[in-house]
Amino acid sequence: MGRKCQIAIVAVVVFLLGGVVAAYAYDGSQKDKIAEGVTVAGVDLSGMDREQATQALSNQVLAPQRKPVTVKFKKEEFKLPAKELKIRANIGAAIDRAFEESREGSLPTRVFREITGGEVQASIPVNVAYSEKSVNKFVKEVADGVLKEPVDASVAAGPDSLSVVKSENGYKLRDNLLSEQLHTLLDNGRGSRTMVAKVNVTKPAVTTSQVAEQYPTYLTVDRSTFQVKLWKNLELVKTYTVALGAAGYETPTGLYSIQSKQVDPVWTVPNSDWAGDMAGQVVPGGVPENPLKARWLGVNGSVGFHGTSESGSLGSAASHGCIRMGVDDVIDLYDRVDVGTPVYIG
């Protein structure tokens, strides 16, 4: 081999060795930087050193988690303070893995990728941890705050009127859905920190359209006009003139019901001064001495509807608390109402 050939070989070797040294030097200069194309939790960390990556992830992952979570429903708001969640994230471990991904491959592969602008294409998640107990407690708080029991339709009675109180739907939180939404938000660390609670609507047992069926018969007693009104399916069908309690023996007010019904009722005379010598006696039904004529519809203890022979007392305060009716009227009413029929006296 000639001298020129030897020199040429040495030159090539020196050149190659220089290239290797340069490659090592270049590669070494990149070891403290994250390779192009590496993302952590969706944050592009290309070209960043550890301090820069830590700051970027803190800003993008942890900073949003330091804000409270708000759940809205109608005009109400429920807040879950961030401090109660005790958010933790494995940012350091994720960055370690980012550097490991950046150093993947052989030296020539890395150098070639780095000098040609190639990318690693690595996507690394960040595991976020938080207090499950706080999440569960918050969901229950929202559930309790949102809960509204349905309200059945009902009837509001006055002395001479009936009006329907409309039914109302209730609400029950879709608690499993809210729990899923909260976990998704907290796991991802991104998204709106305000959400609207989703609910299931609960229906009343008696709707407004059904309420009349619940009150096929109703009686109202107006003490000011001495009238009894008979209602069928909340519609007025008949009005009777009656006598009510005199001063000191006033017919009681309030909501009652028909408790008993009797034909030609027996009269157990009250032990009261007004009963005189008859106090405490039991008078058979249908006899002249019995003032309870024809029919009895008991309302409240010793108070009830009954027929009277004293038709001149009708339209006045004349009884000892009972509701006196004409004989024909009490027979008519008796056949129209059942035990349990509501009676409003006002």
Q: Which of helix, strand or coil describes residue 227?
A: strand
The whole-number pLDDT of residue 111 equals 63
Q: Using alpha carbons, select from 330, 336, 281 the residue that is nearest to residue 310.
A: 330
Site of tokens 């008979």: 230
* Selected residue with higher pLDDT from 12 and 91: 91
pLDDT range class, residue 22, cuts 50, 70, 90: low
Residue carrying the six token digits 């009777």:
240
For the cut 80, the answer to whether the pLDDT of residue 203 exceeds it is yes
* CATH dotted code for 215-345: 2.40.440.10
Host H or E run for residue 115: helix 107-116
Domain ranges for the chain, please list them: 3-66+88-128, 215-345
- Nearby residues of 154 by Cβ (< 8 Å), 6 or more positions away: 164, 165, 206, 211
> Average pLDDT of 158-165?
96
In this predicted model, which residue has the larger pLDDT, 299 or 31?
299
62-75 tens-digit pLDDT = 888 889 999 999 99
CA atoms within 13 A on the CB side of 38: 24
Task: Confirm if 128 and 65 have CB atoms less than 8 A apart.
Answer: yes
Of 308, 230, 219, residue with least CA distance to 258: 219
Least confident of 9-23, 108-122, 265-279, 281-295: 9-23
Rounded to whole angstroms, how far apart are CA atoms 16 and 10?
A: 10
Q: What is the chain's mean pLDDT, rounded?
A: 88
CA–CA separation, 262 and 334 (whole Å):
9
pLDDT interval class at 2 (50, 70, 90)? low
Residue 7 has pLDDT above 50, yes or no: no
Of the listed ranges 84-93, 117-126, 337-346, the least confidently predicted one is 117-126
Stretch 256-281: mean pLDDT: 84
The pLDDT score that the predictor gives to residue 231 is 98
Q: In the structure, how many helices (H) and strands (E) does the chain have?
A: 10, 25
Q: Which two tokens stand for residue 73?
A: 């429903």
Distance in angstroms (rounded) separating the CA atoms of residues 304 and 22? 114
Structure confidence at residue 31 (pLDDT): 74
pLDDT at 1 over 70: no
Instruction: Decide which of 316 and 94 is more confident.
Output: 316
